[in-house]
Structure 1
Amino acid sequence: MLLKIVKNDFIRNKIVTTAVFVFITMAVILAASAINNIANLIQSMSELQERAVPADITQMHAGEYDQTEIDQFTEEQRENIAMQETMEHLTLDGNNIHFGENQTMAGTVQDISFVVQNDKFDFILDLDNEKLDVREGLVAVPIFFMEQHDLEIGDSIRVISGEYEKLFVISDYARDYEMNSSLTSSKRFVINQNDYEEMLEIEGMELEYLIEFKLNENGDSSAVQTAYIESGLPANGPTVGGNIFLIFNAMSDSAVAMVIILISILLIIIASLCIRLTFLATIDEDIREIGVMKAIGISKKDIKKIYLNKYRVMSIAAGIIGYLLSFAVVNLFNGNMRLYLSSDLSGDLKYILSLIAPLFVYFMIVVYCKKVLKRIDKISAVEALRKDALESGKNKKYSFSLLKNDFFSTNIFMGLRDVWKRFKLYRLLLVIFIVCTFIVILPLNIYNTMNSPEFSTYMGIAKSDMRMDLRKTDTITEEFEKLQDELKNDSDIEKHAAYITSSYQVKNVEGSWGYMNIEIGDFSVFPLTYLEGRAPDGEGEISLSYANTGNDGLNKKVGDEVVVKAGESEQTLKVTGIYQDITNGGKTAKAHTSHGVNEEAVLWYIVSLDLVPGVDKVEKMNYYKNAYSSAQVNDLSEYTRQTLGNIIEQMSTIVIGGIAIAIIIAVLITALFLRMLLSKDMSQNAIMRSVGLTSKQISHQYMAGTLMVLVVGIILGVVISNLLGEFLVSMAMSSMGAAKIEFVHIIWQTWLLCPLALILFVGLTIYMSCKVAVKDDISVALRS
């Protein structure tokens, strides 16, 4: 009998049932896709790490070194170190790499190195995660450049430097665990040993080294780094722990997963509201039937089971369909993962973990349905048969009198008055419009912020028109000084500032020495925004990045002292400010020019500049690119775009998906809400029509009220997404070194384009729903 009742209910409410079913399925699809994405990330990261065997400690070094001393140190640290290997990098400028029709890789913010495959660990892999074995005349090109320049296997690249010219054919994509991410500043091209030895003859070529250590299972990384420093071994460059590479590899996909999870949570919240809305409509329609069932002795438990069984069946069916469809939908989000981490995402983990989504949604719906169905307990048979059980507030008096209306037409005023009188009913729709707007605006704000030049401030870089990075060569000092002299005499340059980053030893909280990159310069020319304090503007002052102030950093705050050492010279500096920086693991520092440069450990030179208004930026960039072949010249937006390329690209997909999901949700729930409301008001509308009001006039009342709720919901949604969104993103980014994100708002998108899209689709739904519903036969409505 119960099954027959459930079946008849499905047949009777086809539209509502189908809409709710689709909505529950969407909730399961999105939630399962997010979990699927996380499972794929865990699986692919694990596989890549297992195949690549990355270093646990990497010491970057430029200059002479003695491998015998490193071997001796390795033997002394055998209790911690399992293997040691030194990889030689032949570093070239992007101008030296030619492809296509007279195209080069000039302008890249990445350092380009040619290397030979390692023997012991830190292997560079192909797209099948197999160790690359490159034959003579061939080259494996990093995925970053294959994507950026639309290169394909079989294409050619030429290395041209002075009189030297060498043609290579691209044989593979190079998947590089340590340097995959655009956030790492270097990329490795893999070639054959014979080709590499030939390239060593290039005049003026520069060699850099990665001195890498693979630790035993219980090896102490901190002890090895401390011992390495105390031994005075080569360290002209930053030291990077294996965890940094793990974070960089997972960052873009984990950021996308976090946004999807947030949308999934919002979607599940809306699902519960949608179920409540549908229940209220169904119970309101069936209230006399409920009264009859109670009158003939059917228990409350059995009555509830009639309604609950329908949603149990629906949740199971939607869960199965959503679960299966999620494996197709997730492909929209894991393209980056397939390319950079693992081409094969066929592991079993995702099938198991993704079951959490349909099970959770089913559990949530059943529990929520039981809660809503408690309303039936309060309905007596007599009240139900009189159909006044769910009516509340009828005797309340409201101040909105039609006689006092001087501003709106009668129909619009009556619609707005209805919202005020029954706000408890309309607030459900208001919340859903707020959430839908949030789903649209939050990803859009994140995308616009990351794609903006202002995002450079979260990378420890002050905003400027142009940025010039000088590669470290034998003539770098002379070129750096020449460049500054030319900038001083260039009338097109409004202002400029030079910054030199060196590696220093710094005393940590345990009292031992570690390494830290300190940027030296005048930070008053292009000021950063500081979380606390100010920039260093005198001798003996230093500012620290946010990540450096935590317990896993130097654990310092404004006013504390930091001890740094260059060679044998120690200096105590006072912390004057804390800024945000997500680069280099987030642990950097800035000191005034008076601090001096550690000439023995200079890492890079940077010049920031602003142009005089009206000067052609592209023309000026091209001039300095040609004048200084070792300089990377970029405008700041391009620098940010290249550094955050993967994340920005994936976030654009989330933006499009968020808009589509929000519109579908808003349209579905608006249609359900109006169906419930018009069903509830059937008798009232029939009476209004019997006294002379037309169907069009009644429709306008509902349209006015619902559109007002929509507009208010959109306004509140934009405001909340701006305020709460910044808090949520800042909380997520704090672990990466950015504790206070301020969104970049493109007003015409957040306040015009997106709201208009919602108003257009929802407005059309309101118009169609009201137009159809109020044209029912008056006699039928009055008899009901």
Structure 2
Amino acid sequence: MSPARALRWRQVRGDLRHDAAVNVALVVVVALSACLMGTGAMVMERLLSSVDRLFEVAQPPHFLQMHKGEVDLAALTRFADRHPEIESWFVEEMVGFDGAALAWERPATGASGDLGESLIDNLFVAQNETFDRLVDAADAAPVPEDGEVYVPVAYQESIGLQVGDLLTVATSSGPRTWEVRGFVRDAQMASSLSSATRFVVSESDLAALTAAGGGQPEVIVEYLLTDPGLASDLERAYAADPALPKNGQAVTYTMIRTLHAISDGLAAVALVLVAALLIAIALLVIRFVVRGRLEDDVRQIGAMRAIGIPARDIGRVYLTRYSLLAAVGCAVGGALAVLAVPLLTRGVQTHYGAAAAGGRGTLVLLVALAAVALVVVLGCRRALRLVRRVEVVDALVHGSTLDRRQSRRRARRQARRARRTSLAGARGGVTRRLALIDLRADARQWSLVPVVFFLCAFLMGLPAHLLSTLESPRFLTYMGAPQVDVRADLQLADDLEALRTDLTAALTADDRVADVQVHALVLADVEAPDGRRTVRVEVGEGAAQGIEMIDGAAPGPGEIALSLLNAEELQAAVGDTLTIHEGDQSRSVVVSGVYQDVTSGGKTAKMHGDPPPGATGYTFFVDLAEGVDPVALAASYDERFEDVTVLPMTAYVEQTMTHVTSAFRATAVLATAFGLGVATLITVTFLQLRLARERRAMGTLSAVGFSTAEILGQLRGKTAATAAVGAVLGAVGAVTLGGPVLDVLVASAGVGLAHLELAPDPWVATGGAVALVAAAWLAAVGLTVRLRGASTSTWLRD
């Protein structure tokens, strides 16, 4: 090792021992940043890897078309023969039951329950042989015997079903019971945002269940292509062929993957955002510490410059120190990330299986840690530019990092402040006046505290406010539904029209109900520039009323409102005319508005008018009279009408968004803990450096008669005041600036949202600011309490 390098490392070791507490604080902040960045990156990698592995094993279709009704197999065969890009295809037969028709029992303990509160369609199928297989934990495609059923893993997770339980389905011919033999993962319907899920039974049991009645027969026409990228072209060709079955939703491979990524990947994105805020805090702290260290070592730097050591070599000494701290912090953060990822990906493993073994996860972690380290080191290099501006004379004579012009400018400012400052008659006492003077004189130094607390408050507030937005009744408008008290869904029943009439009459006659809107769900072919598209349309009086439009207005007679994704796919804007084909008839409608919707793959539409006959389902939106309990009313109607799913709207939102909200709840808790911890840590680090620098000033105050309590009170007051400014501004910023940040994320996600208006929780905003100020105050008290008995000689001693 060369003498210069040996000298550098000796200097680094000495510096590390000298500022041990500050160095530990820097390592902790960098470690937390690296932990969150690495965890977010690895969670996303595990999710994508697990989805890829499940897709590889299960082979979901590249394009599928759901359908209720008769199927023309000859037309499907002709279509497949005309499209050589189709590698394989088949028609999967299913029978769907409402959750209220499904019950379970555990013979060993006598426990029992039902699936009545489940909103999703429960579809019974036989195992597919060629592709779109439903697989178990061992990635095998189980084929049950008669009397056996394999249940979706979602029900294993949500209601705790076990192997050996009995599952009973109420049919028109009486109950039918199966023994639960295992659980299956569904590559096509595994997403928490999916509207259906599949149970696997034997082929003979499926035929018997269909014949028993009480369920709704459905089919899925599925296609496996030579190139998944051709799915959109095939979808357009399929929609343009009038002979093909299409009385249902069409889904592409890309839509399936997007739903998986959105429902389980948002938490990873939130972790990365929190990590970015922590990195910003780390850069501020490093800048403060580096500049403070340079000011303390200015005479040594001046001496080294005087004997001819280049500024670049001097900077390398400091850069080596902080690079080493960054490396240690990233190593610790990486180890924490490795421990945290299994805890955060349990749900991913349950729904999609374990990620494929390989080095991609390690590579992603290393890239994330390297990015954090690079940002920190570059921040240090930027702060160390001050070394090049140090002039030898000023450093050795005046002990200042400023050049002569800057020194004269500072001296003039201090002289002006001294002339304006008067302690005589100071309001609030001399102690408070001195604290304000000190804050004004050292504003650049003290600015670190409010900036850090601003970022911490923002870090704590944004995930919490997003969680409250997802759980608020207002979020219904982003799900294509108005803000009402109760929602009833009628889809899987033998006689939809009769049941609709009975339910409408019951709700209309109920004095607890203030208003009822009945919307029919129909499927219509719409002419698009590149061919026909099948669109899911909700038809009813007042359709889209109460839903916020991002452009235009709710539809009137002869008009249609489109969801954002449908408007983009159909290349339609407000005022355009669309041609809609309904059976043998067609008509023109005008686009009245565009709204946001995350349900049904984000592709829906709404039209004004009377519900037409022959709809595929009905949705009832119910407003209640004042004082009526939505939970009680929903329970009474759910029990009275077995084939109707009736839920309070709050429960509907919770059930639909359960995976997303639970992930963000964990992220909000984590962000709060990290925010408070980082704020406390930075406060302690900052005050340690300030105490070392202000030791003589405090001794002077003690010598002229100020008590130790007054001197420490000044420091604590300055800390609390600056922290309060930053915390309040951060709480406000999380509300005002959080919306635009989220808009960028949701608009780029491609899930049917362009604008997400936050519904902030005032208790969260207030409580977060108060908690941060309390943390700052307690940190200041805890750090200075040991100085209560300090004497004047103690303050003035070097």
TM tier, shorter chain?
over 0.9
Structure 2: runs of 5+ lacking an equivalent: 1-6, 106-110
- Residue-pair matches, total: 775
Distance in 2, Cα, partners of 1:394 & 1:383: 14
Query: For residue 364 of structure 1, what is the aligned residue in structure 2?
Result: 375
Identity %: 26
Equivalent position SS for 1:112: strand
Q: 1:154 to 1:423 in 2, by over 3 A?
A: farther
1:549 aligns with 2:567: yes
Offset from partner CA, 1:445-496 (integer Å, 9 cap, x none):
1111112222111011011000000124331111112221222221111111
Query: For residue 27 of structure 2, what is the aligned residue in structure 1?
Result: 21
Alignment RMSD: 2.2
Match of 1:9 among 4, 15, 26: 15
Query: For residue 71 of structure 1, what is the aligned residue in structure 2?
Result: 77
Q: Which amino acid counterpart does residue 144 of structure 2 have in structure 1?
A: V
Q: 1:766 to 1:608 in 2, by over 3 A?
A: same
1:625 aligns with 2:638: yes
Equivalent position SS for 1:245: helix
Distance in 2, Cα, partners of 1:117 & 1:410: 83
Residue pair 1:280, 1:676 contacting (<8 A) in 2 also: no
Query: For residue 84 of structure 1, what is the aligned residue in structure 2?
Result: 89
Equivalent position SS for 2:447: helix
Equivalent position SS for 1:309: helix
Query: For residue 697 of structure 1, what is the aligned residue in structure 2?
Result: 710
Equivalent position SS for 2:591: strand
1:193 positional shift: 2.3
Residue pair 2:462, 2:735 contacting (<8 A) in 1 also: yes
Residue pair 2:696, 2:795 contacting (<8 A) in 1 also: yes
Query: For residue 761 of structure 1, what is the aligned residue in structure 2?
Result: 775
Query: For residue 220 of structure 1, what is the aligned residue in structure 2?
Result: 230
1:615 aligns with 2:628: yes
Residue pair 1:415, 1:703 contacting (<8 A) in 2 also: no
Query: For residue 322 of structure 2, what is the aligned residue in structure 1?
Result: 311
Equivalent position SS for 2:302: helix
Distance in 2, Cα, partners of 1:426 & 1:104: 61
Q: 1:292 to 1:359 in 2, by over 3 A?
A: same
1:332 aligns with 2:343: yes
1:39 aligns with 2:45: yes
Equivalent position SS for 2:438: helix
Offset from partner CA, 1:618-667 (integer Å, 9 cap, x none):
33212211222111001111111111111111111101110111112111
Match of 2:696 among 683, 687, 705: 683
Query: For residue 749 of structure 1, what is the aligned residue in structure 2?
Result: 764
1:295 positional shift: 4.1
1:223 positional shift: 4.0
Residue pair 1:499, 1:522 contacting (<8 A) in 2 also: yes
Match of 1:424 among 440, 444, 465: 444
Distance in 2, Cα, partners of 1:554 & 1:274: 51
Query: For residue 493 of structure 2, what is the aligned residue in structure 1?
Result: 473
Q: 1:441 to 1:128 in 2, by over 3 A?
A: farther
Query: For residue 663 of structure 1, what is the aligned residue in structure 2?
Result: 676
Equivalent position SS for 1:200: helix
Query: For residue 108 of structure 2, what is the aligned residue in structure 1?
Result: none
Distance in 1, Cα, partners of 2:160 & 2:437: 60
Distance in 1, Cα, partners of 2:681 & 2:401: 24
Which of 163-172 and 711-720 deviates more? Answer: 163-172
Distance in 1, Cα, partners of 2:361 & 2:681: 30
TM-score, normalised with respect to structure 1: 0.94
Query: For residue 158 of structure 1, what is the aligned residue in structure 2?
Result: 168
Q: 1:749 to 1:592 in 2, by over 3 A?
A: same
Query: For residue 272 of structure 1, what is the aligned residue in structure 2?
Result: 283
Distance in 2, Cα, partners of 1:766 & 1:775: 16
1:61 positional shift: 0.7
Residue pair 2:631, 2:647 contacting (<8 A) in 1 also: no
Query: For residue 716 of structure 1, what is the aligned residue in structure 2?
Result: 729
1:361 positional shift: 2.5
1:778 positional shift: 4.3
Which of 479-488 and 219-228 deviates more? Answer: 219-228
Q: Which amino acid counterpart does residue 540 of structure 2 have in structure 1?
A: G
Q: Which amino acid counterpart does residue 776 of structure 2 have in structure 1?
A: V
1:358 positional shift: 2.5
Which of 157-166 and 498-507 deviates more? Answer: 157-166
Q: 1:781 to 1:700 in 2, by over 3 A?
A: closer
1:218 positional shift: 7.0
1:400 positional shift: 7.0
Residue pair 1:678, 1:773 contacting (<8 A) in 2 also: no
Q: 1:523 to 1:203 in 2, by over 3 A?
A: same
Equivalent position SS for 1:126: coil
Q: Which amino acid counterpart does residue 570 of structure 2 have in structure 1?
A: L
Q: Which amino acid counterpart does residue 353 of structure 1 have in structure 2?
A: V
Query: For residue 126 of structure 1, what is the aligned residue in structure 2?
Result: 136
1:291 aligns with 2:296: no
Equivalent position SS for 1:634: strand
Q: Which amino acid counterpart does residue 657 of structure 1 have in structure 2?
A: L
Distance in 2, Cα, partners of 1:227 & 1:19: 62
Residue pair 2:459, 2:671 contacting (<8 A) in 1 also: yes
Distance in 1, Cα, partners of 2:86 & 2:211: 35
Equivalent position SS for 1:713: helix
Match of 2:549 among 530, 543, 549: 530
Q: 1:143 to 1:415 in 2, by over 3 A?
A: farther
1:563 aligns with 2:579: yes
Equivalent residues in 2 for 1:194-593, closer than 5 Å = 194-217=204-227, 220-229=230-239, 230-344=241-355, 346-390=357-401, 393-396=410-413, 397-398=416-417, 401-403=421-423, 407-510=427-530, 512-523=531-542, 526-537=545-556, 539-550=557-568, 553-593=569-609
Residue pair 2:75, 2:243 contacting (<8 A) in 1 also: no
Residue pair 2:215, 2:492 contacting (<8 A) in 1 also: no
Distance in 1, Cα, partners of 2:357 & 2:712: 53
Distance in 1, Cα, partners of 2:74 & 2:787: 87
Q: 1:184 to 1:217 in 2, by over 3 A?
A: same
Query: For residue 54 of structure 2, what is the aligned residue in structure 1?
Result: 48
Query: For residue 153 of structure 2, what is the aligned residue in structure 1?
Result: 143
1:150 positional shift: 2.1
Q: Which amino acid counterpart does residue 166 of structure 1 have in structure 2?
A: R
Q: Which amino acid counterpart does residue 284 of structure 1 have in structure 2?
A: E
Residue pair 1:124, 1:175 contacting (<8 A) in 2 also: yes
Residue pair 2:515, 2:624 contacting (<8 A) in 1 also: yes
Which of 656-665 and 2-11 deviates more? Answer: 2-11
Residue pair 1:497, 1:607 contacting (<8 A) in 2 also: yes
Offset from partner CA, 1:503-522 (integer Å, 9 cap, x none):
10001123x11111111112
Residue pair 1:447, 1:651 contacting (<8 A) in 2 also: yes
Distance in 2, Cα, partners of 1:324 & 1:16: 22
Distance in 2, Cα, partners of 1:404 & 1:479: 85
Distance in 2, Cα, partners of 1:683 & 1:508: 79
Q: 1:137 to 1:268 in 2, by over 3 A?
A: same
Distance in 1, Cα, partners of 2:227 & 2:356: 27
Query: For residue 4 of structure 2, what is the aligned residue in structure 1?
Result: none
1:773 positional shift: 6.2
Distance in 2, Cα, partners of 1:289 & 1:222: 69
Structure 1: runs of 5+ lacking an equivalent: none
Q: Which amino acid counterpart does residue 220 of structure 2 have in structure 1?
A: L
Q: Which amino acid counterpart does residue 568 of structure 1 have in structure 2?
A: D
Offset from partner CA, 1:302-359 (integer Å, 9 cap, x none):
3222222211222223223322332112223222211112224543101112111222
